Structures are given as structure tokens and as C-alpha cells.
Homo-oligomer: A and B are copies of this chain.
Amino acid sequence: MNFIKTPTKGMRDILPESMAMREYVLNLMKETYKTFGFEMIQTPTVEHIENLTSKQGGDNEKLIFKIMKRGEKLQNGTLDDLDSFVDSGLRYDLTVPLSRYYANNKSLLTTPFRAFQIGNVYRAERNQKGRFREFMQCDLDILGEKTYLAEIELITSITTFLKKLNFTGFTIKINDRKILTKMIEESGLPLEKMDNILITLDKMDKIGIDGVKEELLSLNLSKENVEKYLKYFEKKEETLEKFCESFKMDEEVVKNLKTIKETVTHLVDAEIIFDPTLVRGMGYYTGPIFEIGVNDLGSSIGGGGRYDKMIEKYANISVPACGFSIGFERLLLLLEERGFQIPEKTEKIAFIIKEESELQEVFKEVQKLRNDGKIVKIVYRNKNIKFQKESLEKENYNIKEW
């Protein structure tokens, strides 16, 4: 028989120490989000293949782990179309399942619905340091709230949680998909090429305005329009209002974003910046978008935005929605780099017993300690007692010989 002892490619065994850290962070998150009225939900890891390949998930759809049909249904498959053997797949995010969930259970949920979902998602990415094929996402969403209350509550929840982990020095970038659209429109660039234009704009940080210009021109766009478009970004450092004047942005949109920015500024211990180059990949965003970055980390640890049109695709009614997702693995990595330690200190006691020990008595004593919340292990005395004790002491166990 051919047993393989390593995990499947890109997936991980989580060791006890890492697991204790994960649990600590998750518990803190659960406690915090609970005070904001979020309710935990769970969706299946396996989704209908139709829902996963619905062109909502951007590039992630290429990375789906596909699950084969079973039994007789396999007989209808053909080699020309291998997808004919497939009926489901592993979810690549928690947003598609949440939208389906809401459509499916709406009548049983509160309105607005504050949803909190923790779960593994799966993407068959190429091997890369810090990238896993199974990784945890922690999503907060408010469904059925059309006003900025959703955005404010989401940003506040997350920053409150991060603060409890002693996180400091983070920045919240905000922008609005409607602003991104209007700029393209006003500059005369074709809206059909919006996706490509935004992918390029997203690189502003890395390749600078000249790099962006070059790449936009390579998309066969008119030089005049590209220059008009990029000229808007010269006012990047100005206030939100000033920036939006140049392309006659709808006042309601500006006012809405301003309310979010100002309210949050007073509530959280973080810098809130309007960043007109913030794009956020997913095509389903329809309004404000935001991202939380940590100053000493290159990239963000999470982000989100408003997606008012998504649930409509599952349900027959339109439901405004706004969500935020934390990249849990990245957060843990960052905590590790910062040397974060779990504050908890429960006493640990190891009972080393002998053949002659009276088992009943040992266990009675041990039970008492455990009932008091102490962590207790029982082991038989080894021949190499010195090594045995050293190992237990290394695990912070106090030793009691019986």
C-alpha cells in the first residue's frame, strides 16, 4: 500500500502551538464581533459548480478544486468536456456562499442581517511562500442595510478587533467604485475596458504614474483620453471633495464617502485615507470599497466593499449588501513577525506515576485539579526519567511524582 505522509500540495498540518494561537485570535474575533450584533453562520465547503463559475469570482474561478460526480451520473461524461464529470467544487471565497445562503434563508433571518462567517476556502494556486491552497477567511457582512451604517460598522468592528491584538499603525484606505467608473466615463475612456483599466490603475503603487500610462496606452486607448484620465490623479493628495470636482462626481456619492470617513476617524485609532487608486479586485463591488493595511506590511490584511447587485442573482429581489474579509493567514503571519504571545497562563501539572501507584487515588486527585480548571496530564514513569522530566518541563508542566 502506498501511504503518503505529507499533506497534499499547498495544504498544511497545523501544529499545536500554531493552533493555540489561531484559537486565541479567533476567540478574540468572535467576542468582539458579537458585541457588534454579528451572528455566526456556516455554509458548506462544497458549492454547486454553477455558482462557482458564475463569473463573479474573478481570477479565483480558474483555481477551483472540482469535485467529480458519483455513481451513474458519471456515465454521461465525455472526454471532450471534462467538466461534464463535475457537479460541484470547493468554495474559493465566502461571499458567493453567503449570497446563496441569504437568498435561501432570507425569511428566517433578521433585517438588516449582520453575518459573521469563518471558514476555509480553497484555491489551486501555484506554490509560493505564504500562499496556501487551503486557507481561512473571516468575513463580516451586513445585508439589507443601504446606508453608510454598514460601512461604518464594518470598519469599526475590524479595527476594534485589531486593537485588542495590540495592533497599531494601520491605515484604512477608502474609495468608491462609482468614482472609479465616473473617472473613466468623464475622461472618454471606454467603459467596456473598465476591468483592464482598473487592473492597470491598481498597479500605481508599484509602477508609478508613468508605468500606468504606458500600460494603458498598450491597451489601444486614445492618448488624449488616457492623459485626461491620469490628470485627475494629480489631485490625489487633495481632499475627497476637491479631487472629485474635476470630473463632476455626483455629490451624493462624495457626501456618503465623506460621512464614512469622518465618522470612522472619530471612532478608531487609525488613519483613514481617501485613495482614488484603490481598486479591490472583485467585479461585484458597486459602491464604497475599503482596505486595511498595516504600515510595516507591504500589502493589506483585509478589505471589502459594497456589493448591492450580487444577491439579486440568487434571489429575485434586490438586497443591498456590504462586506469585509480578513486574510486570517496573513494576520497570523504578521502577529508572529511581531512576536505576539498568547497572554493566557493556566497552571499545567504532570503526574508521573509508577506501576505500584494506586490508580483510583491518582485519578481522584487529578480530577479535582481539572475541575478547578488546571491542565493535568498523567504519564507512567519512563526508564529515562531525566529526559522525561525535561520534556515535560519544556512544555511548562510542573511535575508531581506519585
Contacts and interface: CB of A to CB of B under 8 A. Distances in A.
Interface of A: 1-8, 11-16, 19-20, 22-23, 30, 34-37, 39-48, 50-51, 54-55, 65-68, 70, 74, 77, 79, 82, 85-88, 90, 100-101, 103-105, 108-112, 114, 120, 122, 124, 133-134, 145, 147, 149, 152-153, 156, 160, 259, 263, 266-267, 313-315, 346, 348, 350, 359-360, 363-364, 367, 370-371, 373-380, 391, 395
Given A3-B313, A263-B363, A11 B104 contact: no
Q: How many copies does the complex hold?
A: 2
A348 B37 contact: yes
Nearest to A266: B360
Given A3-B313, A30-B23, A379-B112, A16 B37 contact: no
Contact of A378 (B1, B22, B153): B153
Contact of A88 (B8, B34, B103): B8
A42 B67 contact: no
A375 B37 contact: yes
5 contacts: A6-B104, A34-B346, A65-B70, A74-B82, A156-B367
B1 A54 contact: yes
A313 B19 CA distance: 26
Contact of A4 (B42, B50, B134): B50
Contact of A134 (B16, B46, B68, B267): B46
Contacts of A36: 370, 375-377
Given A35-B374, A85-B85, A41 B16 contact: yes
A381 to B, nearest CB: 12
B5 A45 contact: no
A48 to B, nearest CB: 5
Contact of A377 (B37, B100, B348): B37
A263 B4 contact: no
Given A8-B88, A23-B30, A88-B8, A359 B263 contact: yes
Given A85-B68, A88-B8, A375-B37, A380 B147 contact: yes
A19 B42 contact: yes
Give the top 10 A-B pairs by smallest Cβ distance, nearest first. A11-B44, A37-B377, A16-B39, A14-B42, A35-B370, A5-B103, A19-B40, A5-B104, A4-B48, A66-B68
A7 B37 contact: no
Contacts of A367: 156, 267
A335 to B, nearest CB: 17
Contacts of A346: 34
A315 B87 CA distance: 36
Contact of A68 (B67, B79, B395): B67
